Amino acid sequence: MKKSTKKQKVVLAYSGGLDTTTLIPWLIENFNYDVICVCINCGQEEELKGLEKKAKDSGAKKLYVVDVVDEMCNEYILPSLQAGAVYEHKYLLGTSLARPLIAKHLVKIAKKEKAVAICHGATGKGNDQIRFELGIRALDEKIKIIAPWRMIDIWTMKSREDEIEYCKKHNIKLSFSNKTSYSRDRNIWHISHEGLELEDVSKEPNYKNLLVLSKTPQNAPNKEKLITLEYKNGIPIKLNKKAMKFSDILRALNKIGGENGIGIVDIVENRVVGMKSRGVYETPGGTILYEAQKQLEELILDRQTLEFKEHVAIKLSQVIYEGKWFSPLRVALTDFVKSTQKYMEGIVKLKLYKGNIIKAGTTSKYSLYNSKLASFTTGDLYNHNDASGFINLFGLPEKVRATIKANEF
C-alpha cells in the first residue's frame, strides 16, 4: 500500500508586499508546505489588484481574499472611536484594530483547509507579531505559528534588500525597489508608513513620495470645506444629510479629509517590545470622526462620566495596541463605552481647512447645555445666592488647612 504523498498546508497571512511575497518560496523551500495565501480585505483598495496572479506566480497553491470591511468598521473601529481611544495622544490604532480581525479569519481558514500552521511576516522587533499571535492563540491554542523573522537559524535575510535579492533568485518579479519601498499597512481606517528616511528622526518626512491618502496642509485648497454629521446611539448615520452605512461615511470622509490635509501624524511611539519607533500615519476620515464624537460628547455627557471615560480611553488604547482584543478587559471596557452612547444623538458641523478641524455648531435633543443656565443674564433656573453655600462646603478643606497654618505662627 502506497503512503500518501499529500503535502501539509500552511496558511500565510498575505498582503502582496515584499515580506509576504518572499515568504511563499521560503516556506516551500524550508518546510515543503503547500502555501495557502489569505488576504483579509480590510479596505486596502487598489492594493488588492492582481493579488491572485502574484501569489500563484510566487508559488502559492491558492489565494483567499476575505472581505471584512464592514465587520472591521462596525465591530472594531466603532467601539474604539466611541471610546476616543488614542495611543500616546496621536495614534488612532489603525493597524492595531485590524490585526485581531485578521487573526480571527486566518484561524477560520486554517480550520477549513486543515492546515497545520499559520505563518505571518511580522518582524521580531515589531508589535504585529504580538497582535497576530495573541489573536491566534486566543482562538486556537494548538495550531503551529511560524514567525520567520524570529527563526534566525533558517531565516538568513536581515533586510528588505536581502528579501529583494531572494525574490530575484527565485524568479519572482517585484513592482518596487528598495529605494522607494516604505513599509506600509493600509486599511479603511488609515495607512501607516515606516522605513527609509523615517528611520532618521532628525529628518523631515518626504511627504511628496510618502503620502497616499492625503495632501499636505500646504497643498490643500485655500477654501473651507463644511461638513455635517448626524449621529444616533453614538453611530454616524448621515453625512451632509445623506443616509449612509458607517463604512461608506468613512470612505467619503477619507476622501474629503485627505483633500484638506486632515489627519497626517508623524510620531515616535513606544512599541510593546520596549523600543521606540517612528512612523507617519494618514487617518483623514478617522481624525474627523474623533473630533465630531468629542464635540457631541461635550454637550451630552455629564462631567463625571466624561472624566471616567477619558481614563477608559487611555486603558483601552493600550489594550488594543498590545494585541489583547480578545481579552475580558477589552470586552468590559467597550461594554462600558457602549453604555455611554445611548443618548449620543445629534448633528455636528465642522469646517475643514488646511489640516485644521474647526467647530461650526453642534445640536442634540439630549444636550445638557442650557442657554438659560449658562447665560450671564439672570434666569429663573439658577439662583446666584445658592453659590455661597456651595463655595463654603466645597472649600471647607482649604478653610480648615488655613486655620491650622494660622495656629503655627
Q: Is the pLDDT assigned to residue 350 strictly greater than 60?
A: yes
**Where is pLDDT greater, at 80 or 179?**
80
Identify the residue with better confidence: 382 or 215.
Answer: 215
Average pLDDT estimate for 32-37: 98
Residues 20 and 116 occupy one common structural domain: yes
Total count of domains within the chain: 3
Measured CA to CA in angstroms, residue 311 lies from 304, 319, 337 at distances of: 11, 13, 11
Mean of the pLDDT values across residues 259-283? 97
Q: Within a domain: residue 323?
A: yes
Note whether 303 and 217 are same-domain residues. Answer: yes
Band the pLDDT of 406: cuts 50, 70, 90.
confident
Residue of 15, 19, 131, 278 with catalytic role = 19
pLDDT attached to residue 175: 74
CATH number at residue 315: 3.90.1260.10
Among 182, 207, 236, the domain boundary falls at 182
Q: Where are the beta strands (DSSP E) in 93-224?
A: 117-119, 144-146, 183-186, 191-194
Q: Are residues 256 and 123 in the same domain?
A: no
Local confidence band at 1 (pLDDT 50, 70, 90 cut-offs): very low
Please tell me whether residues 255 and 352 are part of one structural domain: yes
336 shares a domain with 298: yes
Write out the three cell numbers for 197: 528616511
User: pLDDT grade, residue 380 (50/70/90)?
Assistant: low
> What average pLDDT does this structure show over 210-238?
98
Among the candidates 182, 202, 221, a domain finishes at 182
Q: Is the pLDDT of residue 379 over 70?
A: no
What's the pLDDT score for residue 160? 82
pLDDT classification of 180: cutoffs 50, 70, 90: low
Q: Convert the pLDDT of each residue in 138-164 to its tens digit.
A: 999 999 999 999 999 999 999 888 999
- State yes or no: pLDDT of 4 exceeds 70: no
How much is the mean pLDDT over the chain? Answer: 94
Catalytic residue among 99, 131, 160, 330: 99
**Could you read off the pLDDT of 336-346 as tens digits, one per residue?**
999 999 999 99
Residue 99 lies in a domain: yes
Query: From the centroid of its chain, how far is CA 189?
Result: 6
Domain CATH for 120: 3.40.50.620
- CA 49/CA 45 separation, integer angstroms: 8
Please give the distance of CA 316 from its chain centroid, rounded to a whole number. Answer: 12
Q: Which of 128, 160, 181, 192 is catalytic?
A: 128
Does 82 fall in a domain? no
Q: Among 289, 215, 294, which Cα is nearest to 252's?
A: 289
- Using an 8 Å Cβ cutoff, are 174 and 18 in contact? yes
CA–CA gap between residue 262 and residue 256 (Å, rounded): 9
**Same structural domain, 222 and 355:** yes
Task: Give the pLDDT band (50/70/90) at residue 373.
Answer: low
Does residue 3 register a pLDDT over 60? no
Residue 376 has pLDDT above 70, yes or no: no
306 and 171 in a single domain? The answer is no
Q: Does a structural domain hold residue 77?
A: no
In a domain, 394, yes or no: yes
CA distance 349 to 29: 57
- 19 is an active site residue: yes
Q: Please report whether residue 167 resides in a domain.
A: yes
- DSSP track, 221-287: -SS-EEEEEEEETTEEEEETTEE--HHHHHHHHHHHHHHTT--EEEEEEE-TTS-EEEEEEE-HHHH
Average pLDDT on 2-15 reads 84
- Name the percent of the chain lying above pLDDT 90: 83
Q: Do residue 202 and residue 302 come from a single domain? A: yes
Range of the domain at 34: 9-69+94-182
Per-residue pLDDT, 298? 96
Could you read off the pLDDT of 354-372 as tens digits, one per residue? 999 999 999 999 999 986 6
Which cell numbers in the block locate residue 156?
538568513
| Whether residue 275 sits in one domain with residue 391 | no
Phi, psi of 185 (to 5 degrees): -135, 125
- Residue 330 domain-assigned (yes or no): yes
What is the pLDDT averaged over residues 237-249?
98
Give the residue with greater pLDDT, 33 vs 375: 33
* Same domain, yes or no: 145 and 259: no
The pLDDT, as a whole number, for residue 302 is: 96
- Out of 182, 216, 241, a domain closes at 182
Is 251 an active-site residue? no
Q: Are residues 173 and 226 in the same domain?
A: no
> Is pLDDT of 212 > 90?
yes
Is the domain of 25 the same as that of 137? yes
Answer whether residue 4 is part of any domain: no
Q: Are 381 and 375 within 8 A, CB to CB? A: no
pLDDT band at 218 (very low <50, low <70, confident <90, very high): very high
* Active-site hit among 183, 247, 327, 367: 183
Q: Is 98 helix (H, G, I), strand (E, B) or coil?
A: helix
pLDDT of residue 383: 77
Model pTM score: 0.92
Sign of CA dihedral 33, 38, 44, 50: positive
